[in-house]
Amino acid sequence: MLTVITGASKGIGKAIAEKFASQGFNLALCARTESDLLILKNEIESKFKIQVHILSTDVSKKSEVEKFANFVQKLNEKVAVLINNAGVFVQGQVHNEAEGILETMINTNLYSAYYLTKALILGMIEQKKGHIFNICSIASIMPYANGGSYSISKYAMYGMTKVLREEMKPLGIRVTAILPGATLTNSWSGSDLPSERFIKSEDVAEAVFSAYHLSENSVIEEMIIRPQLGDI
């Protein structure tokens, strides 16, 4: 069985990769930095004795997403799980954001998931089995003043997930939106808040695998995960 994860070299993506590897899944991973992917590949393969396939990919570019999709398809393994995790965050407000910020957010946070899902979902439909997780955000349902284009892109990702869920109901494909709040990743580097104030990436990974592990009779359509003390 193969689990495909974008943005897999750090944070939530890395934690999810390690969780699925620990359960015997082979992995197909992408991220921008090849050296980070190589380190992760070596760590996981030596620890869990599964195969990790990697490809350096800038998911903000459609051509590179398509290249990664072709890479996955040529592995000739059935894709059991697709996790659209790659994302970028730039703080700002709609009325004063720099030129091009919206395009960057939409390309990375929405279009990457759209194009990769379109490329891989036909295989899932043929096998009448599969699970797609879209890593959305609390910003997908709760606007905030400095969210700007990030919130716009995450609202769109959440909407795409809900549409896809309806489309896949009769086809045997489960679709889940994961909406984490503030998670201790590089996005919060430099913050002076204590680590206890954040969600752990490993907790998001546990939640994702728990949702996958349900029987095929059931699906968790969406899961909100917040820090115990609430949003930051």
Just list the catalytic residues. 150, 154
Cα–Cα distance for residue pair 109/59, rounded to 1 Å: 9
Residue 183 near residue 204, CB atoms below 8 Å: yes
- Spell out the long-range contacts of 33-42 with Cβ–Cβ below 8 A and sequence spacing 24 or more: 33/9, 36/9, 36/10, 37/8, 37/9, 39/9, 40/8, 40/9, 40/14
β strands within 75-206, DSSP E: 79-84, 130-135, 173-180
Give the tokens for residue 173: 């494909």
